[in-house]
Every structure is written in C-alpha cells, then in structure tokens.
Amino acid sequence: MVENRHISITVNGERKEADVEPRMLLVHFLREIAGSTGTHVGCDTTNCGACTVLLDGRAVKSCTILAVQADRRKITTIEGLSKEPGKMHPVQKSFVDNHGLQCGYCTSGMIISAYWLLKHKKNVSEQEIREAISGNLCRCTGYDNIIMSIKDAEKRMEEEGDTLEEEQAVTVRK
Ligand code: FES
Ligand code: FES
C-alpha cells in the first residue's frame, strides 16, 4: 500500500495542510480539504475546464494535477479573486451584469481563465478571448455573453486600477 504524504498548500492566502493519498487530485484537495467548493468538477478528465484555478499565478486545470504536485505552492480559486471580502472582483461583476452565466457550472473556471488573460494582455481581441477560454466548455453554450463579459471586464479592471502582471506572458493556455 502506498503511504500518505503530508502536504501544505497555500489556498487563497491560507495554509492548508493534510496527509493525502499520492493519487489525490488537486481539485479534490481544494474542494474536500480546503473547502473551496466554488471550484467545480465537470469531467475529472481535463476536458471541461470547470476546475480551473491559478497555480502560482498561472491558470491550470486542477483535475490534471495531483495535490502532491502543488505541495508548498500557491493556489487562487474563485473565492480568492476579490481582495475585499463581500465584494465581487470586476470579472465576476461583469459576468453577472452581462448575463455571462446560465446554470453557472462552468463559470468559476471561465472567470479564472478570463482573469488570467486580462492580467497578462491589454486590449484583448475577440480571437484572443476565444483562445483563452478554448479549454473551458459551457454546456449552456452562452459563449456570446461570456465573450461580452470578458471584454467589459477589461474596462472594469482598468477603472479599478487592477493592472497587468509584470511578466507579460501572452501564451494562452489551451
Ligand atoms: S473537471 Fe477538470 S477539466 Fe473538467
Ligand atoms: S453556464 Fe451552464 S455550463 Fe456554462
């Protein structure tokens, strides 16, 4: 039998420690141990993007990564996007105001992918938005409103002084 491993992951600024099976997926650590249930599981097989989170600032599918691989690293989930408790981040607010969600299952992953794009690229085109969310599937098919939400979110982030990350990496995760 494979022994459990003790790991420590910083989730939205808080350290979460546990003894886990080496096969545990990061998404299950986030939901079951860190209590970040806003991170959804749509497929468990790297297809849908519902589980997208930021790992050390980069958008990743958390069902594609083992929890042990995230040991001593930093994760941001949808719950950690806003810096002010009780206030939505501009990307979240934009999705609400532009009807960028229907059932909401894909939404946290979509928003994390959109946030990652908008933190790394200015004046995003529709094509760049489509590429950035190409790993996120919306089963309700509301892509037009999702794209409108992301375009509007760019303006809102600028207005709130939410600036680009220093590293201007424009390679978009697929
Ligand atoms: S649950 Fe991770 S990609 Fe679908
Ligand atoms: S809003 Fe329902 S899956 Fe996207």
Q: Tell me, what's the pLDDT at 104?
A: 97
Average pLDDT score, the chain: 94
171 occurs within a structural domain: no
Q: What is the rounded distance in angstroms from the CA atom of residue 96 to the CA atom of residue 46?
A: 26
* pLDDT band at 169; cut points 50, 70, 90: very low
Question: Tokens representing 116?
Answer: 């990652």
Is the pLDDT assigned to residue 46 strictly greater than 60? yes
Q: What is the rounded distance in angstroms from the CA atom of residue 96 to the CA atom of residue 1?
A: 47
Is the pLDDT assigned to residue 170 strictly greater than 80? no
Q: In terms of residue numbers, what domain contains 100? A: 90-159
What percent of the chain is helix, strand and coil (3-state, nearest 5)? 35, 15, 50
60 occurs within a structural domain: yes
Is the pLDDT assigned to residue 18 strictly greater than 50? yes
Q: What is the rounded distance in angstroms from the CA atom of residue 24 to the CA atom of residue 3?
A: 12
* pLDDT band at 85; cut points 50, 70, 90: confident
Q: What is the mean pLDDT of residues 19-31?
A: 98
The percent of residues above 90 in pLDDT, for the chain, comes to: 88
Q: What is the rounded distance in angstroms from the CA atom of residue 49 to the CA atom of residue 132?
A: 11
Question: Tokens representing 166?
Answer: 């220093």
Q: Tell me, what's the pLDDT at 134?
A: 97
Same domain, 68 and 47: yes
- Asked if 90 contacts 160 with a C-beta cutoff of 8 angstroms, the reply is yes
What's the CA-to-centroid distance between 66 and ligand 1, angstroms? 13
Task: Give the number of the ligand closest to the Cα of residue 111.
Answer: 2
Report how far Cα 104 is from the mean position of its chain's Cα atoms.
Answer: 14
CATH of the domain at 111: 1.10.150.120
Q: Is the CB of 110 under 6 A from ligand 2?
A: no
Is the pLDDT assigned to residue 62 strictly greater than 50? yes
CATH of the domain at 54: 3.10.20.30
Q: Which strands make up the sheet holding 5-11, listed edge to edge?
A: 14-20, 5-11, 74-76, 52-55, 58-61
- Ligand 2 atom nearest to 140, measured from its CA: 2
Same domain, 139 and 100: yes
Same domain, 63 and 108: no
* pLDDT band at 83; cut points 50, 70, 90: confident
Task: Give the number of the ligand closest to the Cα of residue 135.
Answer: 1
Question: Tokens representing 72?
Answer: 């001593």
What's the CA-to-centroid distance between 45 and ligand 1, angstroms? 6
Is the pLDDT assigned to residue 167 strictly greater than 70? no
What's the CA-to-centroid distance between 143 and ligand 2, angstroms? 9
Q: Tell me, what's the pLDDT at 166?
A: 54
- Ligand 1 atom nearest to 44, measured from its CA: 1
Q: What is the mean pLDDT of residues 79-94?
A: 94
Q: Tell me, what's the pLDDT at 174?
A: 37
What's the CA-to-centroid distance between 107 and ligand 2, angstroms? 6
164 occurs within a structural domain: no
Q: Tell me, what's the pLDDT at 162?
A: 86
Summarize pLDDT for 114-162 with one digit per residue, the tens: 999 999 999 999 999 999 999 999 999 999 999 999 999 999 999 998 8
41 exposure class (CB count in 10 Å sphere: 0-12, 13-18, 19+): middle
Task: Give the number of the ligand closest to the Cα of residue 46.
Answer: 1
Number of domain units in the chain: 2
